[in-house]
Amino acid sequence: MPAVNDTKFQPAVFLLTGIPVLENVHVWISIPFCLMYIISILGNSFILFIIKTDPSLHEPMYIFLSMLAVTDVGLSISTLPTTLGIYWFQSREISHDACFAQLFFIHSFTLIQSSVLLCMAFDRFVAICKPLRYASILTPPIVAKMGLVCLLKGVTLILPLPILLKQHRFCKDSILSQSYCLHSDVMTTACSDIRVNVIYGLFITVSSRGLDLLLILLSYVMIFKSVMSITSHGNRLKALNTCVSHICVVILFYTPHIALSVIYRFVKNPSPIIQIVVGNVYMLVPPLMNPIVYSVKIQAFRVRIIRIFVK
């Protein structure tokens, strides 16, 4: 009898999903995906190279930016094998352990990125609201500790997710809705009680990403309040201009994340196409756009880029 019951559970693999009804043109669809991955990895690596080789950029703002670039590279590398595997080779199968490992890295990098964005908001707050104390507050040891906290926070909060998932049995048709593994997606294929996963996933969302976003918004409320007290219109614009890049990156990061969370948690029977589009925007657009945004807005990066192409 147990043997019969076991046949209903524990498939050897999960099945990932490309773009439904467009399987015949997956090879062509892979071209823009491949270009986006290449630009993301090379663009963020270029940012890291510039910051490392230019001593004038060894300041807190650029160190936090280098942390952001590392998370972007890590996120791109985490999703690249399965995504291109589907579109190039029609390889949809992924083992449980490989899936759990992938979702661990994806969620860890996104959680670390959220924390880094909060650190960058704090950096802008100190630079604008307490400029005379900037060097004494954001010292190299403090910046290093902030980076370490971001790393430990991401790893320790996400580590229980694959451990909790390994306790479940999964139904025969374990078909995921994306070309990579997400916790909210994987847990819905379980044939056992997932209340613990739901509660812990919600806890992470609220206590980490939700709290990070709230503190970022609070930082900008205080920044705008401080900027409005500046009498010179030109100085106001100059102060706000230093925040534009960070604001754009925050919007690029949180908008698709909130949309995807809403779809998985609150929308009944969502359209597969909408899920896939939002999921790909969530994973591909921020790592792609972050280096572009900072390269356009930060003069030091523009100068280095011009020098490379002029030579």
Alpha carbon distance 100, 70 (integer Å): 21
161 pLDDT tier (thresholds 50, 70, 90): very high
Q: Which of 10-24, 106-120, 174-188 has the lowest mean pLDDT?
A: 10-24
pLDDT at position 4 is 43
Average pLDDT over residues 251-273: 80
- 170: three-class secondary structure by DSSP: strand
CA 182/CA 200 separation, integer angstroms? 14
pLDDT digits over 218-240, tens only? 999 999 998 888 777 788 888 88
Q: What is the average pLDDT across 2-25?
A: 68
Mean pLDDT score, 174-199:
88
Maximum average pLDDT range among 4-13, 65-74, 235-244, 280-289: 65-74
- Classified by CATH at the fold level, domain 11-310 comes out as Rhopdopsin 7-helix transmembrane proteins (1.20.1070)
pLDDT at 310: 64
- The whole-number average pLDDT for the span 1-28 is 69
Classified as helix, coil or strand, 178 is coil
pLDDT of residue 142 exceeding 90, the answer is: yes
> Would you state the pLDDT for residue 13?
85
Element (DSSP H or E) covering residue 244: helix 233-266
Q: Which one, of 87, 290, 122, 299, lies nearest residue 215 by Cα?
A: 122
Rounded to a whole number, what is the distance in angstroms from the first to the last CA of the chain? 74
Predicted model pTM: 0.90
Does position 5 have pLDDT exceeding 90, yes or no? no
pLDDT of residue 267: 72
Q: Given this model, what pLDDT does residue 262 score?
A: 80
Average pLDDT value over all residues in the chain: 86
Average pLDDT over residues 37-47: 92
Minimum mean pLDDT range among 22-31, 149-158, 162-171, 276-285: 22-31
Where are the chain's structural domains? 11-310
Q: Which residues partner with 95 through β-bridges?
A: 13
b/e per residue, 199-213, with b = 16+ CB within 10 A?
ebbeebbeebbbebb
Would you place residue 1 in the very low, low, confident or very high pLDDT band (cuts 50, 70, 90)?
very low
The whole-number pLDDT of residue 10 equals: 59
Of 85 and 171, the one with more pLDDT: 85
Does 3 score more than 50 pLDDT?
Answer: no
